A and B are shown apart, each in its own frame.
Chain A
């Protein structure tokens, strides 16, 4: 009886070792198939989701009594056409995610103008259109016009709701595709809930 007991004990120990090895191996080996959405990947996706937008704009400059004296004073009215690039997107550092079973909650800030740059080469003497009778423009005025163009381009892009919305939707669609593709790879249908934030990361009060 003792001999059989020894055999049974040995067999049981062997079986336990096998089970431990199987689970231990699965736990510690580098699982190559993507298993769950990762916040770090989502932040990278948001950085790649930024939209570069070609921007051609017309800045309108008007100043009274630029030159002359008394009744012979002249106003300066002119337009200047220039172009540049505006980059729109969301601040990836504010993106966050939590997973509860198959429900993924993503905190996403609103899109904003991340940068704007005027192409200096686009500003030349052909860029200006003067109103008849307008005062001539000095180099100082032209520099002011350039600075004005910089501010105007950023302001125009920041107030373009459809442009900002397309940048926001772009990030959202790419994140949705990422989670959907992960789910397809591991046979899980994830459900996404969006929590919208302001551009500075504070909760969006207008959200219903």
Chain B
């Protein structure tokens, strides 16, 4: 009986020993694997959040800067809306019969411009094209310098005391007519305005997305 009890006791000790060993092995195994899994999980979550935040942040920043209202606000530079042309010309004054009385040379400045507040912008995000519609250019001011008048008289009798006043009016009429007919004045004003738009918007658009293009309508 005692032998059986001893065998049983020994056997129980063995089982308990094995069981304890097993528990130790399981504990060690769980702890190291758990740590590794936790590290990988934390890393994965953080990288995922970072990527998501960075993408949405960049995307929303770009969209905000490239919005039509932001771009139009950037172009609100009224100081650059006016351009000037130098118009030194010659006006010919005739008498009632059509014969030439005299020629008068003058110096004048013609100002042409457009209203930057009327610029319209359309952003086509799909094709990445920003279409800028500029308002028409107009002559805004003409200034003839009366002190610059110089004469060549063909009819000496027309050289009177009031010739300066008459000539000054003739010069103003001449430059008004000539400048409205000279398309180059308007073309250069338009070109200068387009360069202003590109100089203002171009640096931002290039840095945000260099696939974008600016087109003028």
Contact = CB atoms under 8 A, between A and B. Distances in A.
A34 B74 contact: no
A158 to B, nearest CB: 12
Contacts of B39: 10-11, 14
Interface in A85-135: 85-86, 129-132
Interface stretch (B14-22, B42-50, B118-126, B159-167): B42-50
Contacts of A81: 89-90
Contact of B85 (A48, A50, A55): A55
B105 A58 contact: yes
Nearest to B42: A14
A170 B208 contact: no
B203 A173 contact: no
Interface residues of A, number: 54
Contacts of B86: 53-57, 86, 156-157, 160, 163
Interface stretch (A65-73, A137-145, A177-185): A177-185
B152 A129 contact: yes
A169 B80 CA distance: 9
Nearest to B40: A14
A58 B107 CA distance: 9
B103 A79 contact: yes
Contacts of A18: 42-43, 46
Given A10-B35, A33-B61, A85-B188, A53 B85 contact: yes
Interface residues of B, number: 51
Nearest to A56: B87
B62 interface: yes
A104 B188 CA distance: 32
Contact of A129 (B88, B90, B185, B209): B90
A185 B200 CA distance: 14
B157 to A, nearest CB: 13
B83 A33 contact: no
B200 A174 contact: yes
B80 A83 contact: no
Interface string A9-28: 01100100110011001000
26 contacts: A6-B35, A10-B39, A14-B39, A21-B50, A25-B50, A32-B208, A33-B58, A33-B62, A33-B65, A33-B208, A44-B199, A45-B199, A48-B195, A48-B198, A52-B191, A54-B184, A54-B188, A58-B90, A129-B90, A129-B152, A160-B86, A169-B79, A170-B196, A173-B79, A177-B74, A178-B199
Given A22-B46, A49-B196, A53-B85, 19 more contacts: A14-B39, A14-B43, A21-B50, A25-B50, A29-B54, A32-B208, A44-B203, A45-B199, A48-B198, A51-B192, A52-B192, A53-B84, A54-B86, A58-B90, A60-B150, A79-B90, A79-B103, A83-B184, A174-B80
Interface of A: 3, 6-7, 10-11, 14, 17-18, 21-22, 25, 29, 32-34, 38, 41, 44-45, 48-58, 60, 77, 79, 81, 83, 85-86, 129-132, 156-157, 160, 163, 166, 169-170, 173-174, 177-178, 181, 185
Give the 9 A-B CB pairs with smallest separation, nearest first. Answer: A48-B199, A54-B85, A41-B203, A34-B207, A48-B195, A52-B188, A45-B199, A56-B87, A58-B105
